[in-house]
Chains A and B, each alone.
Chain A
C-alpha cells in the first residue's frame, strides 16, 4: 500500500514537472517585431531616421562613397597600400571579388530595401496623412540618392549612349522574406527615370522646412526638405547632360544674380566663409549633411577624416597629389585661396584637412551643398548658351564661388563657351575636392582618368573605367550581367 502511494506520488510529480508553456514562447525584449514596428507616429519617425542612418553608414555617406569617387581621380595618392581602404580602387585593379566592390553594393541595396520597407510600412501606419506623405517622400528621396550612387560606380555614364547601356537592378518593393533572387539589370535610362520620378515625388510631398526655415534648425540639415530634392535633381540632370532641366531645377534655388540665396523653403545660400561650412555643420550652405556624434560614429576605417587625415586623427590613407595632373598643382589656384588652407603638411606629406576631427568625434559629411547647386547650374547655363557665347550668369556664379575664397582675384574672362565650361569644371575640382564628385565628372564628360603616382591613365571604353558587378551578387543572382571585361 505504502509502495503504491509512493509510485502514484512520483507519477504525479513527473506529470507536474512538464509544464511552463510561457517559457516556450519568450518575448524578445531588445527589438521590435514587425507587428508593432509602425504602430504609431513616434515609431514611424524613428523608422525614417533609420533610413538616414543607413544612407550615412560607413560604406556610403560616412565617407567611402566619396572616397571611391575621388581616389579614382588624380587628386590623391595612396599612402598605406592597404587593400581594405580603397587602394585597389585607386590603382584600377579591381575584380568582382574585391571587398569594396561587394560591400558598397550591399550597403546601397540594404538602404534601398529599408526605404522600400518603410514606404510599405507607412502606407498602412495609423498616422496622419500629412506625416505619411512627408515621410514617404523622404524615403523616396533616399532611395533615389542610393540608386544614383550605384550608377556612378557600377554602370557606364549615362552620357555614354544616352542611358542605353546597362544600369543596375531596380528594386521597388519591400523584401522581407524568402523569394526569387534572380533579376537582371535594367538600362541606365530606366534607373535614371525612376530616380527622377522619386525626386519629383519628393519635391512635391516634402515639407518646405522643419519648424522654421532657419538653416540653423538641425533638421533642416539632417532631413530632406523641398530644396534637398531640387538640389539633387540638378545633380542628376547634370549627369544626364540634360542642361535645360538642370537650369529649370537650378532656377528654383539660385537667383538670377547675387546675393546667392534660395528664394523658397529653407534659407539656403552661399555662405560667406568656406571654412565655416565644414566647422559649423548647420549652416545655410549645407542643404543636407550626414551628422555624427560620439555615440553615432562612422566606424572603423570609415569616415572622410579617416581617409584624408594623418594620425592620430586619421588613418593616413591618402595624401594630396601635389604634382602632375593633381589639382593642387594648378598654378591658377592661388596660394591665398581660403580653400588652400585645407591643404596642410604633416611629416612631409600634404593632407586634405576639410574634416580634421578624429573618427571618434567625426566631422559631418556634406551631402549636398548650395555651392554645388550653383556650379551645376553654371555649367548647364554655360553649356546651354547659344553658339560659342559666354553665359553671363554662369560666369557670375563662377566668379562668386572663386572670389568667396580668394577676394583678391579679378573676374575670369573666358574667351568662349568652351573656356567657360573648362573653368567651371576646374572650379568643381577645387571647390568640391574630397566631397565625392570626381568619378562622376570624369565619366559624364567622357574624359580619361589621368595618371597619378605609379598609376597610369584609364581611358573611356576600357574595362577599368567602371567597377565590376560584385561576385556576391553574381553567385546568387544568376540573371545579373557582369560588366564587359570583368
Chain B
C-alpha cells in the first residue's frame, strides 16, 4: 500500500514538473506571531489549495500563472498575498471584528450582522454545550437581552418558561416557535409524571448557534407563528480544514438547594398539641393528640422527609464528533450519550443521540445536502407535584417532603412500610389525631413513571444556481416523534389505591413534514446590494394518541401493563391533524452599507380556522442607517473612538396559532357512556368567526461600537401590541357552556420595554483578558381588553386555587388577594381588610357563625372576608426587569466564567408557605415557633388553632403570602484549564481543557420560599410566578473535559 502511495506521489511530482508548476511554502501566524493551524490556503480564482499544519507552515504546488494566494480561517479576516516570483509567502491573519462580520442565521437564510436591521440575538453553541442541562433552551437563561428563560423547578427535563420580550399571546402559547435547521419542530411536555420536554431530543452538544428573532423585521417571515418570537437552532457542520475529532464529557453532582427549614419532631408535637388545646380540644391521649413514636434505638423518631425524597444525583455526559470539510464537501458526525440522575429519587434522564450532516457541491451549479438526527431518550420520574396541574396532588413529593409529620418513621420497627391502608395515609406512629398524606418511600419503591421518545429529525435539500445571484433551493424535512408513556401505581398505597393498582400505557405519535421551495436572488451592483427571497412552504402535522389503563392488579407481583388486571379503560386517546400553506417574500436592499431596508411578507392558510377565515397576511419592514459609514463621520474625531453607529427601526404585523386546537372553530358533540349505553353530549361551543391572533411589533434601536469593536452597545425600545387575542372567553357558568368558555378573538394587551446589551473586552494583555457582557430587558405588560365588557379572568392553579387575575389595566396574571394586616397582638388572630378598609379578624376556635369579628369592637362581623368582595390587586407577577451578566476571565491557560442571572420588580405568590403554615396535622416551617402565644406578642404567625386553614391563606388567598420576587442568581460559574501547546504536542492531540463548574451556585433574594425563580403553572397563560407545592431548584457541580484531536 505504502509503495503504491509513493508511486502515485512520484507520478504527481513528475506531472507537476511537466506542467511548469512550482512549490510555494510559508508560515501563517496571528498578530502575536503564534502559528495558525488549519488555515485554508488557496490559489486565487482556483480550487487549488491546502491547509496549514500545526506549526502554521504549508507547502503548495501552484501553477505557473498563479498570481496570488488567499489565506482564510474561521473568525479571521481573509488575507490575499501576491506571489510574484517568491517561493516563500508568509501571512499574518488578524482576528475579525467578529460582531459585525458574524454570519447571523435569519428566517430562510443568513445575513451578515452588519446588514441586519431586524432584532436578532445570537447565542453561540459553545456557551451552552457543556452545561448540565437536558435541553438547550434551559441553557439560554441570562444569555441574551429580551430572551427570558425561567427554570420552573429542579424536576429533570421540565420545560422551561421561555418568553421573548414578555408574554406575547393571550390564550394561546407564548412559547416561541422553534425551528431546527429550517424545519419548525415540536415543543412542550409530552410526558406523564415523568416530565418530557421534547426539545431535549436535540443534543446541546450538536448546536452551532441559536438565533432568537425578536422583532417583526426578523420574525415576520414566519408570519402566523411569529408572535412569540422565533428560536432558530442551527446544528453543526464541518469546517474547512482537515478532519477534526472532539470529545467532550462531564460528570456532575446535583442536589436541591435553599430548602425551607421545618419543625423537627418535638417541635411538631408541641405546635400541633398547642393547636388542639387552643381549639378547645386538648390532647387527651385517647381520642386525639400528637405523640412520639419510639424507634428501634429506643429514641423517639425524628424523620427528615427531605432526605427521603431528595438525594445527590450523579450524572455524566459524553459527546464525540468528527467533522471536516474541503472546498466541495463538508461533513459532521456526532454521537452523544447522557445519563442524568436528578435531585429527586427516581428522577432520571437518559438520551442517546446521533447527528449526521453532509453537504456536497456537485459542480459550480448544484449543491446537495442533508441532515439526519436520531435520538432516543427515557425520562423516569415520580409524582413530584411540580408540573402544571399537579400542585395539589395528595402524593406529590414536593409537598410530602415538607408537609409530612416528622414524628413518624419511614419504616416501622418491624421493618414494614409505615402506611395506614384503612385511610391510605402515612401510618399514625404514636399520633392519635388522624394524619394526611402518603409515605413517599413506598411510592418511590413501588410506583413507576417513564416517558420515552424516539425522534427523527431529518432534512434533505438541493440548490441550483440558475445564473449569477439567482438560486433555487428545495428543502424537505420531517420531524417524527414517538412518545411511549408508562405509569404503574401500586394498589396498596398512594394514588393507585382508587384503581386497586393500575398500569397506564399510552403511545403518542406526532408526525410532520415540511416542504419548502425557495428562490433567492442576491447581487451587488456597485454600491447597491439587493437580496430577494420568494417561496412556498407547506407543512402537514398529524397527532395520534392511544392507550389504556389496566386496573385492579390481580397479584402484587405485577407492575407491568401486560401483567394480570381486572379492568381496562381507554386512556390518552386523541387524533388531530393540521396543515399550513404559506407564500413567502422578502426584499433586502442596501446602499453602500449605509442605508439598509428590508420588507417581508407572508400569506398563511391554516386548517384550524373556519372556511371564511383560513388565510391571513403578515408583513414586516425595517430601515437601517449606518452613520459610521458616512464620510463625515469617518472624518470626524468621533470615529477614532466610535467605529460603529447604526440606527434601525422596524414595524410589522404577525400572528399566532401555536396552541390552538386543530378543530377549534367547530361546535361539537362527543361520545361517552351512560353505564353500558352509548351517549353523545355537547362538548364544545364553536366559533366560526375565529381568526388569527394579531400582533403588531415595533422596534427602534441603536447599535454602537467603540475602540474597533472592543466595546459594543445595543439599545432597543420595543412595543408589541396584541389584538384579537384568542381567549377562552369565560362564559357565565349559569350558561352551562362546556368548559365555561368559548374560544374567541377578544383580548388585547401590549408589552413594551427596553433592551440594553453591553459587550466588551475590559482588559486585554498578553496573559490576561477579561470579556464582559451585560444585558437587561425591561417589561411593562398591560391588558387592555377582555371579553364580556372586560370581565375578569381568574386562571386557576391546578384547577383549585385562584391567586392570579387577568384584568384590564393590569399586568397579566397579577395577584388578586384579600389584604391582611398581620396578627392582632391582643388576641393572636390574623387581621383581614374588607374592601372598604374595615378590619376584621378570624378565630378558628370560635363557633362557625362567630369566627369573623370586627377588630374595632369584637362584634360579629357582617360577613366573611373573601376574594369576591375584598380582593385587591398586587402586581405585577411578570418580572419588570430581567437580565444576565456574563464575565469571562482568562489568565494564561486558565479561564473563569461567571454568569449571573437577575430578575425582579415582580411579586411571587408563595402558596407553598400557606401549606407550610397549615394547622391541620401537616408539618410546618420553622417560623411557626414564633407564633402568637400571649397578649402583647408581636409576630406574623397567628395563634395556632388546630384545623385552621384560613389564617395561613389556604382557604382564602391573602396578601401575606404574596412576596417580592427580586433575585440575583449565579447561574453558572466555570473554571477551566487548557493545557499548553507543548503538553498537547507531547500527547499528540490538538487541545485539551479541564473544567469544573457549578450551575445555580447561589441566589440572593429576600423571598422566603425555596426559590423565586418558579412556575408551578409552567408555561401557562395568565398565572405566572405561582409557587405551589413545588420542589426547589437543583444545584449541580460538574467536572468536565474538552478534548480535540
Q: Which residues of A contact B (CB under 8 A)?
A: 3, 6-7, 10, 13-14, 17-18, 20, 23-26, 28-34, 37, 43, 46-47, 49-54, 56, 79-84, 88, 91-93, 95-99, 102, 105-106, 109-114, 116-117, 168-169, 171, 175-179, 181-183, 222, 291-297, 300, 306, 310-312, 315-316, 346-347, 349, 358-361, 454-459, 462-464, 468, 470-478, 480, 482, 484-486
Contact = CB atoms under 8 A, between A and B. Distances in A.
Nearest to B551: A360
A28 B849 contact: no
Contacts of B666: 28, 31, 33
B671 A95 contact: no
A92 B611 contact: no
B25 interface: no
Nearest to B787: A178
A123 B273 CA distance: 64
28 contacts: A18-B536, A28-B662, A32-B680, A34-B669, A47-B680, A47-B681, A53-B672, A83-B955, A91-B947, A109-B734, A110-B736, A176-B682, A178-B687, A178-B742, A178-B744, A222-B674, A294-B566, A315-B498, A316-B423, A459-B849, A471-B802, A472-B740, A472-B794, A475-B791, A477-B733, A485-B863, A486-B863, A486-B864
B866 A93 contact: no
Given A10-B519, A81-B920, A485-B863, A24 B579 contact: yes
A28 B673 contact: no
Contact of A175 (B436, B670, B737): B737
Nearest to B570: A295
B862 interface: yes
Given A109-B733, A486-B866, 12 more contacts: A29-B575, A30-B670, A37-B680, A53-B681, A93-B955, A113-B736, A178-B742, A181-B791, A312-B492, A463-B849, A471-B794, A486-B869
Contacts of B814: none
Contacts of A6: 464, 466
B687 to A, nearest CB: 7
Contacts of B606: 24
B298 interface: no
Which 10 residue pairs across A and B have the least CB separation, nearest first?
A113-B736, A456-B847, A50-B681, A49-B679, A291-B675, A92-B848, A49-B674, A181-B732, A23-B579, A95-B866
A281 to B, nearest CB: 10
B675 A222 contact: yes
Contact of A176 (B515, B573, B685, B729): B685
Contacts of B423: 79-80, 310-311, 316, 347
A463 B863 contact: yes
Contact of B500 (A25, A109, A312, A454): A312
Given A79-B434, A293-B675, A347 B422 contact: yes
Contacts of A176: 667, 682, 685, 737
Contact of B421 (A54, A95, A311): A311
Interface of B: 279-281, 392, 394, 420-425, 434, 436, 464, 466-467, 472, 491-492, 497-500, 515, 517, 519, 535-536, 538, 540, 551-552, 566-567, 569, 573-575, 577-579, 581, 583, 605-607, 611, 614, 662-663, 666-687, 729-738, 740, 742, 744, 788-789, 791-794, 800, 802, 847-849, 851, 862-864, 866-869, 920-921, 947, 949-950, 954-957
A53 B802 contact: no
Given A458-B848, A476-B788, A476-B791, A112 B736 contact: yes
A113 B681 CA distance: 11
A58 to B, nearest CB: 12
A360 B500 contact: yes
A425 B868 CA distance: 38
Contact of A109 (B735, B862, B869): B735
B735 A175 contact: yes
A130 B722 CA distance: 53
B734 A169 contact: yes
Contact of A110 (B467, B517, B738, B847): B738
A33 B552 CA distance: 36
A298 to B, nearest CB: 10
A37 B957 CA distance: 43
Contacts of B862: 485
B724 to A, nearest CB: 14
B863 A17 contact: no
Nearest to A108: B736
Contacts of A34: 667-669, 686
A13 B678 contact: no
Contacts of B920: 81
A409 B669 CA distance: 54
B498 A358 contact: yes
Nearest to B423: A316
Contact of B678 (A29, A46, A484): A46
B868 A474 contact: yes
A31 B668 contact: yes
Nearest to B921: A81
A193 B670 CA distance: 33
Contacts of B574: 30
B458 to A, nearest CB: 20
B358 to A, nearest CB: 24
Contacts of B280: 454
A474 to B, nearest CB: 5
Contacts of A168: 734
B662 A97 contact: no
Contacts of B467: 3
Q: Which of A26, A88, A96, A99 has the most CB of B within 10 A?
A: A26
A482 B862 CA distance: 14
A50 B729 contact: no
Contacts of B551: 294, 360
Contact of A475 (B392, B422, B579, B730): B730
A358 B538 CA distance: 51
A105 B733 contact: yes
A171 B735 contact: yes
B909 to A, nearest CB: 14
Given A49-B674, A84-B392, A183-B734, A475 B947 contact: no
B848 A17 contact: no
Nearest to A181: B732
A440 to B, nearest CB: 20
Nearest to B421: A311
Given A28-B663, A97-B866, A179 B849 contact: no
Contacts of A20: 538, 579, 581
B498 to A, nearest CB: 5
Contacts of A361: 552, 566-567
A459 to B, nearest CB: 7
Contacts of B869: 96, 482, 486
Contacts of A56: 674
B800 A454 contact: no
Nearest to A47: B680
Nearest to B606: A24
B961 to A, nearest CB: 15
A31 B607 contact: no
Contacts of B519: 10, 14
B867 A96 contact: yes
A110 B203 CA distance: 47
Contacts of B684: 31
B868 A482 contact: yes
Contacts of B729: 178
Q: Which of A25, A311, A472, A476 has the most CB of B within 10 A?
A: A476
A106 B740 contact: yes
B949 A83 contact: yes
Contacts of B679: 46-47, 49-50, 52-53
A205 to B, nearest CB: 20
B733 A33 contact: no
A97 B517 contact: no
B956 to A, nearest CB: 6
Nearest to B744: A178
A485 B864 contact: yes
A456 B424 CA distance: 28
